[in-house]
Amino acid sequence: MNGNVRKRVVVAGGGTAGWLAATALVRQLNGLVDVTLVESDDIGTVGVGESTIPTIRTFHEFIGVDEAEFVRATNATFKLGISFENWDRVGDHYFHPFGSVGRSTFVADFQHFWLEARRRGFGGDYGDYSLEQQAAMAGRFTAAGDHSLGYAYHLDATAYARFLRGAAEESGARRVEGRIVSVEQHGESGDITALVLESGARVEGDLFIDCTGFRALLIEKTLKTGFDDWSQWLPANSAFAVQSESSGDPVPYTRAIAHGEGWRWRIPLQHRVGNGIVYASDFLSDDAARDRLIQALDGPPLFEPRLLRFETGMRKQVWNRNCISLGLASGFVEPLESTSIHLVMIAVTWLIQSFPFGPDNTAVAAWFNARSRHEWEHVRDFIVLHYAATHRNDTEFWRSRGTASIPDSLAERIALFREAAIAYQGRDDLFRIDSWVAVLTGQGVWPQRHHMMPSMLPAAQLQLALSDLQRNIDAAVSRMPSHAERLAEIARGARTPQTA
């Protein structure tokens, strides 16, 4: 590439994925790329991805987003984890907290000490040693001090896309209004050369980013990339989404509530609540699913529930020729662990780090695809775990999950934990050891044995150590402001977090 020639990047489609890509590219590669985003006001976005994980904070720092400004613009609330209800058995409850749980040693992770305590008749619940879980249950939040929390956000996805658009355009991205009617390709290479709009205008580029959602207009309809179907492991294929009026102060966590044929979400924002029901249409009719969702709302719905259809899986390549797909154009894994926005952000990060400035990017694309597949399959396995490790047999759907096959990679993880209480986080794995332990034990997967080192501790010493952990957590939580107080402070214009 001639150093005086900018690479022309064309983003097809807006929404969260499109504007995240445009903002990050124009801010991080300023002077090296020209970014044009093409979208039509006539084409809506899915706009229901309202729950995130802590990686969003790192990405926001990466692209220069001010937290207080973002929270005000998107009516965001803070999120300390996910409450899972009715997943192992009807009436059961467990929490998947962000942050670290307990204290580990070089020899043995914390779960081994906790399991030894339980074997001796004390120790309580795993979440007793999570600062995030205890703060969430108490409705408290802080982002500063010696006891700062690991957290993410709940956000209004439509407002978030609008917020990002402002940031992108302010930084030099160009928006073109129009519906894409055709895609032009090079006669020999097959690379995409231009998008043709309904008006007749052509938008030419060197690199194209497909953010056209489930339509996958570039990566699939044009390039025929292919799709790996994961519905044998995750058979849910439908969802209704609706927003409702708030019925109280927002809690700092997401609720994922299993029902007879899938699960429901409840995501509290400052001004409303996001609700949805995910289900397998082979086991539950659309009418029954809609009625079940409406009956479960805490407040009046703000509009008629919106029906979404999806196919679980991912593109065989998310980078094909000179096109990279993001978001729903790349694939879909149900948002049980709030990973949808993360998958966009990590892909954009990798793209910036490995941007194709040269004429031949074959090796880079292969690396990008391999890394993307690992990330997607890791997320897939963690989602499948919630269904596979269950003792529910009260409906045909749950009985089918108990007998279904699971990916070999997940089966190996479950076997390792069941045999020796070993959980691990690989170098490129998203979910931490604490996350695997929280969900495995929450779903009723109990190890046959654990590391013997904690058994060498006198019972009184082990009990004192665990009690000290709990006392420190309780003291830290008691000093935190309430979640509602923190949000009110930001609304008044505060930029500096309160201290614990």
**Catalytic positions, written as ranges:** 79
Q: How far apart are CA 409 and CA 416, in angstroms?
A: 11
Give the up-direction half-sphere exposure of residue 374: CA atoms within 13 A in the CB hemisphere: 13
Three-state SS string across 43-67, please? CCCCCCCCECCCHHHHHHHHHCCCH
Tokens 């050891």 sit on residue: 433
Tokens 């046959």 sit on residue: 448
Q: Are strands 227-229 and 33-39 parallel, antiparallel or unpaired?
A: unpaired
Q: How far apart are CA 238 and CA 279, in angstroms?
A: 6
Q: Are strands 81-85 and 7-12 parallel, antiparallel or unpaired?
A: unpaired
> What's 114's DSSP letter?
H
Q: Are strands 202-204 and 192-197 parallel, antiparallel or unpaired?
A: antiparallel
Residue 70 phi/psi, 5° resolution? -65, -45
Q: Are strands 262-268 and 273-279 parallel, antiparallel or unpaired?
A: antiparallel
CB 69 within 8 A of CB 293: no
